[in-house]
Amino acid sequence: MQMFAPVDKPPSLWAATAPEAKLHPRLEADIEADVTIIGAGFTGLRTALKLSEAGVSAIVLDAGDVGYGASGRTGGQVNPMLPFNTPERLRKLLGQTYFERLTETSLGSADELFSLINSYQIDCQARQNGWLRVCHSKRALSAARKSVEEWNIHGAGMVVVEGEELHRLAGTKAYGAGIMTPKGGAVQPMSLARGVAKAAVQRGAAIHGNSAVIDLEKDGQKWVAKTAHGSVRSDWVVVATNGYTGDLVPKLSRTILPLTPIQMATDPLPGDVIDSILPAGHTISDSRRIIMYSRKEPDNRMVYGGLGKPERSGEIGGFDWLRKDAERVFPQLKGVSWTYKWGGRVALTDDHLPHLHEPQPGILVGLGYNGRGVAMSNVMGRVMAERILGSQADALPFPTSPIKVIPFRPAKMQGLGTAIWLMRFLDYLETR
Ligand SMILES: Cc1cc2nc3c(=O)[nH]c(=O)nc-3n(C[C@H](O)[C@H](O)[C@H](O)COP(=O)(O)OP(=O)(O)OC[C@H]3O[C@@H](n4cnc5c(N)ncnc54)[C@H](O)[C@@H]3O)c2cc1C
């Protein structure tokens, strides 16, 4: 089985500042439940919460603990839009029925998450102030205008912001125009993961940390998920391992390309440095192939992210480039110390869509948010719970697709470094 090493040393800002730190006990017995959930990120935790609310017993197993994967390390931007695919392309990929369902679901995904946070009173600094996606070139702006038109037909409510107004809202003159999506926002992601975990446990779910599932096998009508010190026997298994996916389900890891986004955060900064940056509390990202994403925290810290590079040592590189880019975008940040630096893994799919699989009766897999999973993983978790609670597979917002290995994946993995270098170079030429 493919294992992975912890990568956030020192810990992420989120792990360092989230309340309710709690290590969940290792699984040390052979037990039974209705559902086993592998992965305690947003996807698995949302499934656990919905099932436990319905009186279905759920055991969550994680190799690390709650929020150990991308969910506790993420940029925490709640963006109600599938990445990469325009509505036109989505319709081609999905056909009319799933196009309509997935468009509606993804555009509603931020509202769905904020409403969940509200109903469970989860203390995670949730704010829905809007998301600015700034354009790095004329070509990107004309593509953005087209996508605004297309998405707005479906109720996205996006607005093009230009010139002085953009400079004021973003706090940077590095970009001339952008799109504002009012439903976007931000959360403290580790607080969110812990809050959902707590709500699920209060309703009867059990969570075990330090409990990597090393084998999954059928025993009569049941599935048995084995860890080094115990096992869970259940009718259903939900695999919610996203960018950390190994080989528990045959070929599953070959349906995704793992990437390693990184982030860094400052300590609280004085007003004269930070007041002009994102004054209305928007989150921001840009249109480059290798994007930047950033946010200002309620306590005046800055968080800035991009794409990193896993080193052979298990450490993650790319922070020097990230600091230079942060100073290019926000010259106000020249010379500040970036106290926290961390990264995590996301899963790209070939069609850039989240995938829902049911490879065998009783096994559900939900993954592949293509780096935009804060809102959509929550939707996927809810949808997988609904399937277990009796919804027909063909009535869900996501099509249930067969497990399909990415063609030429080894070559794509091998060429990833060069492709990223090339994309960065093209971005540089277009941004000069
Ligand atoms: C640095 C970074 C920045 C990001 N920024 C954003 C953003 O701003 N907005 C956005 O929408 N998305 C963002 N994303 C993506 C988003 O965070 C993810 O799509 C989302 O968190 C995925 O949640 P998940 O629960 O599916 O997976 P994860 O949170 O990755 O959880 C998977 C879990 O599975 C566990 N696991 C794996 N194998 C096993 C096993 N065999 N047994 C037991 N447990 C196992 C892991 O320990 C892990 O905890 C970012 C991701 C990263 C890494």
| Distance (Å) from CA 368 to ligand 1 centroid | 10
Measured between its terminal Cα atoms, the distance across the chain in Å is 45
**Dihedral class, residue 50 (left if φ above 0, else alpha if ψ from -120 to 50, else beta):** alpha
| Distance (Å) from CA 45 to ligand 1 centroid | 11
The minimum-distance atom of ligand 1 relative to the CA of 79 is 11
Residues 6+ apart with CB under 8 A from 29: 230
| Distance (Å) from CA 70 to ligand 1 centroid | 3
pLDDT at 129: 98
Residues whose beta carbon lies within 6 Å of some atom of ligand 1: 38-44, 61-64, 68-71, 73-77, 79, 212-213, 240-244, 246, 248, 261-263, 293, 305, 343-346, 367, 369, 371-374, 377
pLDDT at 4: 44
| Distance (Å) from CA 243 to ligand 1 centroid | 6
Output phi, psi for 204, to 5 deg.
115, -5
User: How far apart (Å, rounded) are the C-alpha atoms in residues 416 and 422?
Assistant: 10
The minimum-distance atom of ligand 1 relative to the CA of 39 is 34
| Distance (Å) from CA 429 to ligand 1 centroid | 32
The answer to whether the Cα torsion of 191, 197, 202, 203 is positive or negative is positive
User: How far apart (Å, rounded) are the C-alpha atoms in residues 235 and 249?
Assistant: 16
Q: Ligand 1: which of 14, 46, 62, 194 to mutate, judged by most atoms within 8 Å of the beta carbon?
A: 62
**Residue labelled with tokens 């929020």:** 67
- Among 228, 231, 260, 258, which Cα is nearest to 245's? 258
| Distance (Å) from CA 334 to ligand 1 centroid | 31
| Distance (Å) from CA 375 to ligand 1 centroid | 12
Across the chain, which has 432 residues, the per-10-residue mean pLDDT values are 46 91 94 98 98 98 96 96 86 95 96 98 98 94 91 94 96 96 97 98 98 97 98 98 96 96 97 97 95 97 94 86 96 97 95 97 98 97 98 97 96 89 90 82
Do 295 and 186 touch, CB atoms closer than 8 A? yes
The minimum-distance atom of ligand 1 relative to the CA of 344 is 53
Global pTM reads 0.96
Do 129 and 280 touch, CB atoms closer than 8 A? yes
User: How far apart (Å, rounded) are the C-alpha atoms in residues 110 and 131?
Assistant: 11
Q: Ligand 1: which of 374, 378, 398 to mutate, judged by most atoms within 8 Å of the beta carbon?
A: 374
| Distance (Å) from CA 69 to ligand 1 centroid | 4
